[in-house]
Amino acid sequence: MSHPHANEVKAFLLQLQDQICAALEQADGQGRFVEDAWQRPAGGGGRSRVLAKGAVFEQAGVNFSHVSGDALPASATAHRPELAGRRFEAMGVSLVIHPENPHVPTSHANVRFFIAEKDGAEPVWWFGGGFDLTPFYPVEEDVIHWHTVARDLCQPFGANVYADYKKWCDEYFFLKHRNEARGVGGLFFDDLNAWGFERSFAFLQAVGQGFVEAYVPIVDKRKATPWTDSQRQFQLYRRGRYVEFNLVWDRGTLFGLQTGGRTESILMSMPPLVRWEYGYQPQPGSAEALLYERFLPARDWV
């Protein structure tokens, strides 16, 4: 079934996983990724890599998966019902990083490629992905750096690309039941094929390779910042928002579960420690209140 372009995309994704893991190991300085290769009975497989209890990263997961099936699940066809019943092939790299130090932001990135086929019809393919930042004690220069990298990698692809995909990210990573953003955003795109394969693939590559440039300098600046137990408790509380989003709203989680994917790899995004507190309100004028007041509301950063 494999589309002629699929091998080219797969080779890039495998290399990207290697590059990101190497950069994160260097930033951590101590931890190492452990690989768990797996096969999916219904078709395909992947390699999950997890770094646990490092010097900087409490848990970091960088997954590659390549799966196929006889019909796209509901999570993939809800907004494209014309694809229901088509055979599919999906591949991607997805990562979530949970640092121990509350001054180092959590981060997520994903790049993916889909093909949907049906006998007698042209294959339908598209790219998707992006990256977003979830700080607990944000520093404005870090957020500006993050969005500057995002803007600059988008510029060769069109004047409005960054603005459009930043807005999509702000809207997607929003907890509707809390009326609250998950973090300070970044980029999000899906169903990208209007530019043709080569240009669309080039954008996917730019986003995937831009993640390290956007994130690692922030890690390097903040990983030695002293932190208190109360700051750690706030970090664990805010991690609860991450769990809520991934289990309630995230299409990628739903897609993995609905296609019979490997549960351990799908839920690798969950933080190792988290807590909830009933009716929590930050103290007025505190650093915790500043997160809610200045950083979580969507705004232009660059």
Residue 80 annotated in ligand binding: no
CB 219 within 8 A of CB 27: yes
Residue 108 annotated in ligand binding: yes
Active site residue 108: yes
167, two tokens: 């807005």
CB 268 within 8 A of CB 95: no
Q: Which residues sit opposite 9 in a β-bridge?
A: none
292: left (phi over 0), alpha (psi -120 to 50) or beta: alpha
Residue 110 annotated in ligand binding: yes
Under DSSP, the state recorded for 267 is G
CB 295 within 8 A of CB 135: yes
Q: Tell me the three state secondary structure of residue 42.
A: coil
* Distance from C-alpha of 127 to C-alpha of 189, rounded to nearest angstrom: 8
Residue 103 annotated in ligand binding: no
Residue 45 annotated in ligand binding: no
CB 94 within 8 A of CB 47: no
Residue 178 annotated in ligand binding: no
Residue 230 annotated in ligand binding: no
Active-site pick, 66, 103, 108, 145: 108
CB 208 within 8 A of CB 14: no
Q: 242, 250, 226: which is closest to 274 by C-alpha?
A: 242
* Distance from C-alpha of 132 to C-alpha of 94, rounded to nearest angstrom: 12
Residue 17: burial class (beta carbons within 10 Å; 0-12, 13-18, 19+): buried
Residue 98 annotated in ligand binding: yes
Residue 145 annotated in ligand binding: no
* Distance from C-alpha of 285 to C-alpha of 291, rounded to nearest angstrom: 11
Residue 261 annotated in ligand binding: yes
Q: How many CA atoms lie within 13 A of 293 on its CB side?
A: 10
Residue 147 annotated in ligand binding: yes
Q: What residues are designated binding site? A: 94, 98, 108, 110-112, 147, 177, 260-262
- Binding site residue list for a divalent metal cation: 98, 108, 147, 177
Residues assigned a catalytic role: 108
Write out the binding residues for substrate.
94, 110-112, 260-262
